[in-house]
């Protein structure tokens, strides 16, 4: 039983493309609490990151509003910086207004 689960996990790992792996790694780094607190992160290009995948992810990041990108050519990395969202930009959360339902008149 354990061997079947291990083989299933291995199949899932192999099914993930290089682009998906890179996207997941970059997303994880950006969303890390330390990066969110300091509002910057440096993403290093790994040997396993293909040219096409790297260019595609960097292109997507470049299209993101309010994100400053600094390419560090000597280390093949990019530093991303962003400002804290203002109160106007923060997502609105649903509030519990304790709505009192009126009884229908019929």
Beta bridge partners of 42: 79
Can you give the residue ranges of every domain in the chain? 17-82
Token digits of residue 25: 């790694």
Compute the residue count for the chain.
106
Helix (H) or strand (E) holding 55: helix 51-62
Q: 60-97 pLDDT, tens per residue?
A: 999 999 999 999 988 899 999 999 877 665 555 555 55
Beta strands per DSSP E along the chain: 40-44, 67-72, 77-82
Percent of the chain at pLDDT exceeding 70 = 68
Tens digit of pLDDT for each residue in 3-54?
Answer: 666 666 665 556 789 999 999 999 999 999 999 999 999 999 999 999 999 9
* CB neighbourhood size of 81 (10 A): 14
């Amino acid at each position: 039983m354990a061997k079947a689960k291990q083989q299933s996990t291995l199949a899932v790992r192999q099914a993930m493309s290089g682009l998906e792996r890179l996207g997941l790694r970059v997303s994880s780094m950006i969303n890390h609490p330390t990066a969110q607190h300091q509002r910057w992160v440096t993403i290093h290009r790994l040997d396993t990151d293909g040219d096409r995948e790297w260019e595609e992810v960097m292109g997507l990041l470049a299209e993101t509003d309010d994100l400053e990108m600094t390419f560090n050519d000597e280390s093949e990395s990019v530093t991303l910086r962003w400002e804290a969202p203002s109160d106007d930009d923060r997502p609105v959360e649903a509030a519990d207004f304790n709505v009192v339902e009126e009884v229908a008149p019929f």
